[in-house]
Structure 1
Amino acid sequence: MCILPPSLFCCFSTISAFFQTSPSLVNGDRGNYVNQWGEYLLPVETYDFCNDFSEGLAYVEKDGKAGYIDTSGAWVIQLPIGVIGHEFHEGVAHVIHDYPGISEEVRIPNQFIDQTGQTALLCPSVNIRGDFSCGLVEAQSLETGRYGYIDKTGAWVVPPEYRGGNAFYKDRAIVWSEEWKEGVVNAEGDLIIPCIYDRIYVLDNDAGGCVFVVELEDNNGVKFQGLADYDGTMLIEPQTALDLTYSDIVTMGRLVVGYNDLTWEKRGAEYPLCGVIDLSGQELLPPVYMITSGGYQEGLMSVLESGSTAWKYIDTSGQAVLSVPETVSRAWNFVDGVAELEGTDYQVSFIDHAGNVVIGPLPYSCSYFSQGVTWVFPDGRNPDVIFNQHREGVFGLLADPRLEQKISSWAVEELSYAEECGLVTESNNAYFGFRITRRRFAELAANLVEQVTGQEITPDKVE
């Protein structure tokens, strides 16, 4: 089921996935918002600019007016002219007053507001960079010009001793020393990895926390990479044999790595063969793979073995559990019980753990489903078309057909009885797990009144 069919595809300049809040953004420059049903938040009008929803609110601009709306489209916070708002994070949003033309009466440097529009924090002695994450935000001391991190009271937790840093993630942040060397601090302000490395990469760990790839580069451009755990303890000393940044996640205690001395060639370029190691550097699977999906999901990882043209899914022992046809040009990991396959004809299918095609093939270029829907290109069979559509922002919304008649076990009997009584309307007779909208709820309520009274409800005409 395609909620927005190809004939109705609209031109959107940017899109985003459906996350924990809905509606989701479909146009970041001049647009509207759309929910799981493909229904627009506003019937006709569009915004001059709109941001993603975050914590139930979204920053928008229209006709010189700026502020935040809720998921019904109602203005909740209106900002003075010239004040620009960031997304809400951890209950507060950074609003900027330093744009040309703003009056001195409303100019407030480094202000954070809460979801009622009231001031939550003023920081006149610092410059703010970014948004709150893990209770901290990066700030520059106006006195020294150096960066650190403050909490929601404005107090320094990480002293302003650095040239800069990244936002905190899982209570860790990369910081840069005076010499532009990188290290890592924790949320208590402790430097757990010293600022001696040329680059540091953060890898997610599905067991919790994260690990860090630390990199040094000599005068000849040779890179030495090591691995440190969440607390900064070195697990693998810097070395040159392995490329530890091949994957960006540790799954099931395993890390996919590239072997720098073992390569394969494609279109004149050389790429390292891949294998799997544990966090101590012990080899678990030999370097026999040209391409992998980067890690294990739902116990399996997709791989293309050296010398082969067929993708397969392997378990943690390296045994092939599932093979796919050679007409598949790319196989992705399993997510929510299905894996995406892209064919040599550019069509997309989704298979289950038994290898059965449960969705598709689709003449769309799309990704995994999130909250029951995914954004798609209307024609995914031609790579040139895909490129042009991506550039021009032509997208549609596809609903997961597996969910069309999926009913929670506790609701089966009640739904059957409601259908017998004529209480289920046509637009509410599918995708029962989707969030009901006010219009759909009103439709059910009106139908209930009609069924009970035997009288048709006719809206009053507005002259």
Structure 2
Amino acid sequence: MKKPLLFLFVLFIQFVNSQELALVKKNAKIGYISKDGNFKIEPQYKSAKSFSEGLAAVEDNGKWGFIDTKGTWVIPATFNNAKDFNSGIAIVQKEKDWVYIDTKGEILKAPFSDKLFDFNNGVAFIRQNTKVGLINPKMTVVLEPKYDQIKPFENGFARVELNKKWGIINTAGKELVEPAYDEIGNYFKNTAWARKDKNFGIVSAGNFIAVDGAEKIWDFETQDLTYAKKNGKIGFIDLKGNWTILPIYDKAKAFSKNLAPVCVGSKWGYINPKAEFVIPPTYSDAEVFSTNGLAPVKEKNWGFINETGKLVIPTQYAITSNGFVIALFVQQDKGFIDGLARVKNEGKWGFLKPDGTVLGNQWFENAELFSQSKERNSTNEAAAEKPKTETKPATKPEAKPAGKKKK
């Protein structure tokens, strides 16, 4: 009987450690709420950052350290600055130097790099002179610096530039698309859009297929259709580069739940993959549907509709992709994410439930999105820029390269 009890206890511990918390500001102090609407950590900090991988960077008397989801100090506040944990690694500033630390707060010895870069998707960039490569959390080089630029990894893939041509690599540093294109999009189902000279098309299995008349193509996201421009109008193409919906719209956004926002004149509605209007164009703006089947739509302010077009939450709110600290948000950040939508009402921020009620019936001076013990996407990118163009890291959790590392 002891083993089942131990197993249940471990499950309980894992559940507690993975709970989602949101950073909020109340009475000029920062605290953290859970999804039941109650404070898990009471507002008490002047400066703090969202949780990432179960730890949050918090300032104490001008120094930064890390707390866990109970508010207990796990890594003492001894650093001048600190960034989020990702892949078990965080960048911190100790006196004048930026270094990597693990979740125990121990400094890690990393291969030389002109700058330190955030980990993301299990790798971090290293830059030596004018070339960029990759290291893993064990501080082992997995890709020797060879590219002029590497864009942020998304779902395990990144765009790379070499000699002013673009391709795609994975986190092991393997080239999936040879750098042979003037522009390239994100990798989706072994496919990416690309531009070769003046021609836009699709790259799949190493072959480039020009899309008839395309002037611009946007990234594929959750479905096998993406929007593209031809003769100044927007339509949709499939993974093979075929026009499946003729370019007749003035603007468009991605398909989700088999519905895509499109704009005709100045009004937005939603079409299905057959180009039929399921929701007529009556709104001044519209966003993609979230996984829970609700989408933000705007009249004078923002509200939410369901997949039949019924307005289930009145258009009385403001929505935004930016909190009061610069954060790294996932797609559809203007809608419902994991069951809650962050909105603004009469100068205060709160979280809506799908039924339109406010989480905990509380409004805050500011609020960040809920985060838990999982990796967050990073807008950090590595390029072979000259040292004089480098920017120092801000005190906010921007995904910019940290300062120079000493040899």
TM-score over 0.5 (shorter chain): yes
Q: 2:153 aligns with which of 145, 168, 184?
A: 168
Aligned letter for 1:183? G
The question of whether the paired residues in 2 share the 8 Å contact of 1:201 and 1:214 is answered with yes
For these two proteins, the number of residue pairs brought into alignment is 328
The question of whether the paired residues in 2 share the 8 Å contact of 1:257 and 1:274 is answered with yes
Superposition pairs of residues 15-414 of structure 1, within 5 angstroms:
22-26=20-24, 31-35=29-33, 36=35, 39-40=38-39, 43=42, 45-47=44-46, 49-82=47-80, 84-97=81-94, 99-100=95-96, 110=99, 112-119=100-107, 121-127=108-114, 129-141=116-128, 146-177=131-162, 179-202=163-186, 205=188, 209=189, 211-216=191-196, 223-229=198-204, 233-237=206-210, 241-245=213-217, 247-259=218-230, 262=231, 272-292=232-252, 294-305=253-264, 311-323=268-280, 326=282, 328-335=283-290, 336-343=292-299, 346-365=300-319, 367-379=334-346, 394-400=347-353, 402=355
Deviation track 1:195-233 (CA, whole Å, cap 9, x = no partner) reads 343333326x4xxx464333355xxxxx4323224xx62
Structure 1 vs Structure 2 CA RMSD: 3.3
Q: CA deviation at 1:309?
A: 5.9
Over 3 Å counting, the alpha-carbon distance change for 1:227 and 1:79 in structure 2 is: farther
Q: CA deviation at 1:333?
A: 2.7
Aligned letter for 1:113? I
The question of whether the paired residues in 2 share the 8 Å contact of 1:175 and 1:185 is answered with yes
TM-score by length of 2: 0.69
Aligned letter for 1:355? G
**Per the alignment, in what secondary structure is the counterpart of residue 193 of structure 2?**
strand
Over 3 Å counting, the alpha-carbon distance change for 1:396 and 1:288 in structure 2 is: same
Over 3 Å counting, the alpha-carbon distance change for 1:169 and 1:310 in structure 2 is: closer
Q: CA deviation at 1:361?
A: 3.5
> What is the alpha-carbon distance in structure 2 between the residues aligned to residue 374 and residue 359 of structure 1?
11
The question of whether the paired residues in 2 share the 8 Å contact of 1:373 and 1:397 is answered with no
Deviation track 1:270-329 (CA, whole Å, cap 9, x = no partner) reads xx211112122212111111122x222112223234xx66543222111222336x3x21
> What is the alpha-carbon distance in structure 2 between the residues aligned to residue 331 and residue 397 of structure 1?
21
Over 3 Å counting, the alpha-carbon distance change for 1:183 and 1:376 in structure 2 is: same
Q: CA deviation at 1:93?
A: 1.8
Over 3 Å counting, the alpha-carbon distance change for 1:334 and 1:58 in structure 2 is: same
Over 3 Å counting, the alpha-carbon distance change for 1:200 and 1:25 in structure 2 is: farther
> What is the alpha-carbon distance in structure 2 between the residues aligned to residue 52 and residue 224 of structure 1?
43
- Runs (4+) of structure 1 moved beyond 6 Å? none
> What is the alpha-carbon distance in structure 2 between the residues aligned to residue 403 and residue 376 of structure 1?
11
Q: CA deviation at 1:404?
A: 5.7
> What is the alpha-carbon distance in structure 1 between the residues aligned to residue 23 and residue 319 of structure 2?
19
The question of whether the paired residues in 1 share the 8 Å contact of 2:267 and 2:285 is answered with no
Over 3 Å counting, the alpha-carbon distance change for 1:81 and 1:319 in structure 2 is: closer
Over 3 Å counting, the alpha-carbon distance change for 1:403 and 1:360 in structure 2 is: closer
Q: CA deviation at 1:88?
A: 0.9
> What is the alpha-carbon distance in structure 2 between the residues aligned to residue 312 and residue 284 of structure 1?
18
Q: CA deviation at 1:77?
A: 0.4
**Per the alignment, in what secondary structure is the counterpart of residue 249 of structure 1?**
coil
Aligned letter for 2:74? V
> What is the alpha-carbon distance in structure 2 between the residues aligned to residue 113 and residue 355 of structure 1?
49
| Higher fraction of helix | 1
Which is higher, the Rg of structure 1 or of structure 2?
Answer: 1
> What is the alpha-carbon distance in structure 2 between the residues aligned to residue 64 and residue 159 of structure 1?
38
The question of whether the paired residues in 2 share the 8 Å contact of 1:150 and 1:156 is answered with yes
**Per the alignment, in what secondary structure is the counterpart of residue 133 of structure 1?**
coil
> What is the alpha-carbon distance in structure 2 between the residues aligned to residue 210 and residue 79 of structure 1?
44
The question of whether the paired residues in 1 share the 8 Å contact of 2:297 and 2:315 is answered with no
Residue 12 of structure 1 is matched in structure 2 by none
> What is the alpha-carbon distance in structure 2 between the residues aligned to residue 251 and residue 168 of structure 1?
17
Residue 383 of structure 2 is matched in structure 1 by none
Q: CA deviation at 1:54?
A: 0.4
Deviation track 1:310-353 (CA, whole Å, cap 9, x = no partner) reads 543222111222336x3x2123332212222211xx13332222
Higher relative contact order, structure no. (Cα contacts within 8 Å, ≥ 6 residues apart): 2
Aligned letter for 2:215? D
